[in-house]
Amino acid sequence: MEGGGIRRDAAQEKAVAALDRLIGEISSSRLAAKSSALGWLFARRQDRKPVKGLYIHGGVGTGKTMLMDMFFELVPSRRKRRAHFNDFMADVHDRIDAHRKALKRGEAKGDDPIPPVAASIAEEARVLCFDEFAVTDIADAMILSRLFSALFSRGVVLVATSNVAPGDLYRDGLNRQLFLPFIDLLEEHVQVLLLDSGVDYRQEKLSRLPVYLTPLGIETDRRMEEAWKIAVNGGNEAPVDLTVKGRVVHVPRAVRDVARFSFAELCEQAHGARDFLAIADRFHTIFIDHIPILEQARRNETKRFILLIDTLYDRHARIVVSAEAVPGKLYAGRTGTEAFEFERTASRLVEMQSREWLETAGRQAGRAA
């Protein structure tokens, strides 16, 4: 897309053809199931060829989410579910926990919670659509093979988007050898498609706007809203809760892989390194509103801000911020370790505005262990 018009994109056309194929196969399988009750009843199970899903991977801004939007709207199935992969896995762990509690109360049978959890998910959704498939948690990694074996055996069709190829999922993760069977299983049940047009459509639009806005005021707020609308591209905004070691990190505004916070929400609350890592691993683009000039008296907020920028820098995230001053003048303290450390923060804030940074921002997401 450019200037409201449509541009031909061979990579996207190939993905559209694959999604159209999948819609046709899902539709045909539904018709076959309904066409003859007796025929379906007596058909041999092995004669029913399972529908193969689709795994689309590529860089940020290549149109994966747009294609998923179109597919999910058009796929002819009432039992369909779309979720961010991390949110889906949080639901899976909740169901596992609920089964174990029911087992203790004598209200459930079977020591293994995976089969009943998979059965309940398959009953609710025949088509599972995942945005941003990325495995970073060892607890997720250790159950995925068994969980999806059960889901695929029940005829669930998986459609997923990701920044990485299946073989790069959970790369360098702890005990990754135990995760490898899931990669084989995934590649058996989905068509893997690279979406690489060489164009980051969101970045083309964002690149026309500055990503570091100063000073604070009505005009800066207006330009932040303009950048936000471009980044979320018409998506439905909603809050998101991330679970970090049993605690909840609240994301007040989120659309797919884009999140928005105020400085106060990130740095005036008791957030630590794990919280910022969870945010950086979940979102590719982070908006931060109303960063003030940091005085020496605000030592805790300054330390958190330094840690936040270090984390986003290490994860190669894209940031869009509004601040009271340019990076080199954001910290007003004269003494202490913060003054020295903030020189690095200011340098990174400048680098994260560069064209080179923005052209590659977000590509490392989903690869962290």
Longest dimension (CA), the chain: 82
H or E stretch including 262?
A: strand 258-262
Helix (DSSP H) and strand (DSSP E) numbers for the chain: 14, 11
Average pLDDT, the chain: 82
Domains, the chain, with CATH or none: 10-194 (3.40.50.300), 204-360 (3.40.50)
Task: Kindly give the pairing relationship between strand 80-84 and strand 212-213.
Answer: unpaired
Does the structure show a pLDDT above 80 at 281?
Answer: yes
> Cα–Cα distance between 369 and 136 in angstroms, integer?
5
Q: CA 212 from chain center: how many Å? A: 24
* pLDDT of the residue at 301: 93
Tokens of residue 362, six digits: 């977000």
How big is the chain by its Cα radius of gyration, in Å?
A: 23
- As a whole number, mean pLDDT of residues 118-128 equals 93
| CA neighbor of 312 nearest in space, from 279, 343, 337, 334 | 279
Residue 259 parent element (H or E): strand 258-262
- At 362 the pLDDT is 52
pTM value is 0.58
Per DSSP, which regions of 91-169 are E strands? 127-131, 157-162
Q: Please return the burial class of 101, using the count of CB atoms within 10 Å of its CB with bins 0-12, 13-18 and 19+.
A: exposed
pLDDT interval class at 149 (50, 70, 90): very high
Closest CA to 88 of 164, 27, 143: 143
- 326 vs 336, residue with greater confidence: 326
State both tokens at 267.
Answer: 């740095």
pLDDT digits (tens, 9 = 90+) for 201-229: 555 555 556 789 999 999 999 999 999 98
Task: Provide the strand spans (E) within the chain.
Answer: 53-57, 80-84, 127-131, 157-162, 190-194, 212-213, 238-244, 247-255, 258-262, 285-291, 318-323
pLDDT digits (tens, 9 = 90+) for 169-195: 888 778 888 899 999 999 999 999 887
CB 302 within 8 A of CB 278: no
- The pLDDT tens digits for 284-334 are 899 999 999 998 888 899 999 999 999 999 888 989 999 999 999 999 877
The Cα 122–Cα 151 span in angstroms is 6
Distance of CA 299 to the CA centre of its chain: 32
Inform me whether the pLDDT recorded for 1 exceeds 80: no
Q: Write out the DSSP string of 36-88.
A: -HHHHHHS-GGGSPPPPEEEEE--TTSSHHHHHHHHHHHS--SSEEEEEHHHH
Residues belonging to the chain: 369
